Amino acid sequence: MIDVTAASQHASLNGRVTVNLSILFSELPLLERPAAAAAAGFTAAELWWPFGADHTPTEAELDALRKAFTDAGVQLTGLNFLDDLTKGAKGVLSVPAESKRFRENIPVAVALAESLGTKALNALYGNRVEGVDPAEQDALALENLVLAAQAAHAIGAVLLIEALNKVDAPDYPLHTAQAAVDIVDRVNAATGLGNATFLCDLYHLAVNGEDLPAVIAAHTGKTGHVQIADFPGRNEPGTGELNFDELFARLDAAGYPGRIGLEYRPSTGVSADSFEWLPRENRAG
């Protein structure tokens, strides 16, 4: 019997929380966000690709980002490969016209991750393209995911493959946990490395109407990272309908050992005001 009492006060998050600085503290310039996260009690953070899909960062820009994290004493725990989620790209690796740029980004993203001790790299699959055979896109996606998995493995990192919700990403083909896990299995079969894993974003899955306890029970063994936001609204826990004490308890019972990424929009628009649901002693990762 799983203990899902609210009395836990999210104690199971101790040492496991990482805050997504592409959506939280986004009211601040990028280089100020690690320090703001540290001031709020966090010691771990993750990022979508922070330089935009149309720009190759200079060494000076990369060094400035590294310095912002190291000066703040914040560990970068997760990083996306090339993307620009602010423009709705939802990944580029399955898009023929973008494949070359994705491949050119792999060593850049991996080098940044290695320099900051980042052990999880997220490769969003990309939207379907009108006029392109989905089978062609899937074949290209597998080629690029294999390259990404091999590069991640070289620095001891996992590759994350994520399902998104069909409301915000209608052209993204991975709308269920099973669809994402199927890609995980194909990549691992192709590489033999076993470092492709499922990114279980509970918000996206809730929007899609999935049975979250069933997803946790079925797929925790292949899950490399978990992200959360409440549903509906994609705001902080306590603003919607999801029972996070129950979900965290189920993750623990299923043996999930990893981090929990906070990937929500603060309901008031001020990130520092959105953490009352999480006691300060539970924030350090």
Does 27 participate in catalysis according to the annotation? no
Contact 79, 117 (CB under 8 A): no
Among residues 162, 210, 241, 281, the one annotated as catalytic is 162
Burial label for 213, CB within 10 Å (0-12, 13-18, 19+), is: middle
b/e per residue 59-97 (b: at least 16 CB within 10 A): eeebeebeebbeebebbbbbbbbbbbbeeebbbbbbbee
Distances (CA, A) of 123 to 14, 33, 90: 27, 23, 10
Q: Please tell me which residue in 98, 210, 236, 263 is annotated as part of the active site.
A: 263
In which residue are the tokens 């008031």 written?
268
Neighbours of 149 (CB within 10 A): 26
Q: How is residue 271 annotated by DSSP?
A: G
Residues with Cβ < 8 Å from 140, sequence gap 6 or more? 93, 94, 95, 96, 99
> Is omega for the bond preceding 232 within 30 degrees of 0, making it cis?
yes
DSSP state of 269: S
The verdict on whether 263 is a catalytic residue reads yes
CB 175 within 8 A of CB 163: yes
Residues annotated as catalytic are: 162, 263
